[in-house]
Amino acid sequence: MAARFPYQPRPSFKASESLRKSIQDQTKVALEITKQLLLNEKGNKDKNVVFSPLSIHVVLSLIAAGAKGSNQKRMLSFLKSKSIKELNTLASRVVSLVFADGSKLGGPLLSFANGVWMDQSLSIKPSFQNVLGTDYKAALKQVDFKTKPEEVRREVNSWGKKETKGLIESILPPDSVSTATRLILANALYFKGEWDREFEASDTRVSDFHLLHNVGSVKAHFMTKWSDQFVRAFESFKVLKLLYKQGQDYEREFSMYIFLPNTRNGLPSLIEQFCSNVEFIDSHLPNERVPVRRFLIPKFKISCGFEASKLLETLGFSPGGLTEMVDSPEPLYVSQIFHKAFIEVNEKGTEAAAVTAAVVRMYCAREPPRPIDFVADHPFLYLIREEVTKTVMFVGQVLNPIED
């Protein structure tokens, strides 16, 4: 069961003003989640994190599309959107273009899929079915939650594993699906991009990575280069831009950014700045290559999972009755939202994936640039985004590169 977005040759990114605003609003939501996840959630303050705000946003948009009245207005307010139509347009116009696979043209390998599992006793409303098929390209399957909940749970997990090339083995934990479950909404995305200028594995060296809170250091593998890099220095931090191969895919450009605080314990303060304003990212990005002296980037691999519903509730997203989704004699509500993500960064490039699942139950001239050091040997923030649409796909922090 899968519904994917086929590649559309040379798609047009001439977005209207309303569409550009929708992308910016999506980024605002992403920053709110990032701040809560990295600074306020007790379990994440001292560990590596990766998540996909885009994947979460898609599932929340589906949930909002299934509600009405005050419930829908409350969800739209959280998503910074004026209407369901605006959210659906964001899904159909931007997501389909950003995540169309570009590997045949020498660009990143991309995959994006949405899935819906509905109890066989229910019938989906035509208006919602149209939204699923037209805007979200979501595959719909009727299943038997009442007598085979565990079987459905395993099926959803298998779907997520397949759509992420095995990187996310299971999204729904044991006992998360029961006989009271009536609907599951899920999104899976996958990204694999090679660096525009790969690192030589023979140059990788072992060096110290200093941990947060001055608790010591660990030995980690650091990639290095001696060529000019996209680096920009500010008073308290530096930003590095690493390009992925674009091939003949002239309409899109994918990059990873590393926001590195100048001090070893400066990450929390940098996250506060990063999340404070939606324009912070664009106003602090490197726009030219400069000479670098010491240049070290740690290899890392991170797996991360959390129950997003609790975090989202803290931020003010509390989904109510989903009366516009299906014809049901019972009131339906979102009981849990699960999210898992994975990222690996090495000499060749980056592989990243994420799955989100919602369980629905009842109820001027300048001097030549001076050489800059960029030594990421202490905790830093990173993100992956598509540059033309400015869609943020993955965000995270590295506190210890040798821990998963």
Q: What is the DSSP string of 131-166?
A: HHHHTS--EEEEE-TTT-HHHHHHHHHHHHHHHTTT
CB distance 97 to 171 below 8 Å: no
- 10 lies in a domain? no
130 and 110 in a common domain: yes
Query: Which tokens is 164 given?
Result: 């992420």
> Does 104 share its domain with 92?
yes
Q: Are residues 233 and 147 in the same domain?
A: no
CATH of the domain at 261: 2.30.39.10
Spatial distance between the Cα atoms of 388 and 198, rounded to a whole number of angstroms? 23
pLDDT tens digits for range 166-220: 999 999 999 999 999 999 999 999 999 999 999 999 999 999 999 998 889 999 9
Domain that holds residue 122: 17-193+301-362
Q: Are residues 306 and 295 in the same domain?
A: no
In a domain? residue 5: no
77 and 64 fall within a common domain: yes
Percent of the chain with pLDDT over 70: 93
Q: What pLDDT, on the 0 to 100 scale, is given for residue 404?
A: 74
Whole-angstrom distance, CA of residue 247 vs CA of residue 104: 9
Q: Are residues 60 and 178 in the same domain?
A: yes
Is the pLDDT at 157 greater than 60, yes or no? yes
How far apart are alpha carbons 361 and 156 in whole angstroms?
A: 16
The first and second tokens of residue 79, run together, are 């998503």
| Residue 227 within any structural domain of the chain | yes
pLDDT digit string (tens) for 319-337? Answer: 777 878 888 888 888 989 9
- Does residue 177 share a domain with residue 89? yes
78 and 134 fall within a common domain: yes
- Is 64 contained in some domain? yes
Task: Domain count for the chain, please give it.
Answer: 2
Q: What residues have CB less than 8 Å from 278, skipping those under 6 apart?
A: 24, 27, 28, 31
Residues of the chain by 3-state class (helix, strand, coil), percent to 5: 30, 35, 35
Q: What is the mean pLDDT of residues 280-299?
A: 93
